Amino acid sequence: MKKNIILMGPPAAGKGTLAKKLLQKYGFVHISTGDMFRDAAKEGTELGLTAKEYIDRGDLVPDDITIGVVNERLHKGDLGNGYLLDGFPRTIHQAEALAEMVKGSSSDIDVVINLECDEAELVRRVTGRRICRNCGAPYHIETMKPKVEGVCDLCGGELYQRADDTEEALKNRLKNYYTQTQPLLDYYDNLGLLKSFDSLKGSDELFEEICEFING
């Protein structure tokens, strides 16, 4: 089944974890702008170094850069099973640019999934989050501990805290989310594409509901 999906939600609502499960089940191509920027930063490319300055402060990377990266990715010719856009679009300008890119093509958007989560829970999740430096797997210092502290269960890589997962940077990310990204929910709702889900639900139940919506 081919579907083109946008995954939305505030920082740490659980987009990354959900994305992983959806990719396993459906074989979509995962397009995560956050991952692409972090990979580029790790490689030390010009794009990566520029993006890192914004990311570490919790600011949004400028639209022209972000839109360029996604546009290039969408045209690689490997989207036969559809895509899962994770972390893009985040501004109205990005959403309009995306609409232009895919309009009338087989890459047009089928559904938009929104994960809802209250702010206290986001803060708890983000400040406790640790990520594998090697494979990107997420952990939490209280609720998703690795078997050995500081070491990834999956690949043995080192776990670290993202520079933008501090309380200070998170405040900024949330502010940007409320002012710039949340208005997109109305935008996609008006197009009849949006459905919101409670990210606090048990993960199996949530996953099942989301699959039903996708299969719909």
Kindly list the catalytic residues.
Answer: 15, 90, 129, 162, 173
Token pair for 60? 């949004």
Told to check if 187 binds ligand ADP by CB under 6 A, we report no
Based on CB atoms, which residue is closest to ligand ADP, 42 or 208?
Answer: 42
Binding map of ligand ADP across residues 91-130, x = CB under 6 A, - = no contact: ---x------------------------------------
Give me the helix-helix angle, 46-57 and 33-43, nearest 10°.
120
Binding flag, residue 191, Zn ion (CB under 5 A):
no
Cβ at position 123, least distance to ligand ADP in Å = 12
Helix H or strand E encompassing 37:
helix 33-43
Angle at which helix 92-102 crosses helix 63-74, to 10 degrees, equals 30
Q: Which of 64, 75, 106, 135 binds Zn ion (CB under 5 A)?
A: 135
- Tell how far CA 188 is from the center of its chain: 17
Strands of the 159-160 sheet, one edge to the other = 138-140, 129-132, 159-160
Give 129's strand partners. Answer: 140
**Could you say whether residue 148 binds Zn ion (CB under 5 A)?**
no
- Closest approach of Zn ion to the CB of residue 155, in Å: 4
12, 132, 169, 210: residue in contact with Zn ion (rule CB under 5 A): 132
154 binds Zn ion (CB under 5 A): yes
The DSSP bridge partners found for residue 175 are none
Does the protein bind ligand ADP through residue 164 (CB under 6 A)? Answer: yes
Q: How many other CB atoms sit within 10 Å of the CB of residue 31?
A: 22
Residue 129's SS3 state is strand
Phi, psi of 117 (to 5 degrees): -160, 135
Is the CB of 64 or the CB of 208 nearer to ligand ADP?
64
Q: How far is residue 186's CA from residue 24's CA, in Å, rounded to a whole number?
A: 30
Which range binds ligand ADP by CB under 6 A, 55-63, 151-159, 185-193, 196-204? 55-63
Question: Binding residues for ligand ADP, per CB under 6 A?
Answer: 11-12, 15, 33-34, 37, 54-55, 58-61, 66, 87-90, 94, 164, 173
Residues of this chain that interact with Zn ion (CB under 5 A) are 132, 134-135, 137, 152, 154-155, 157
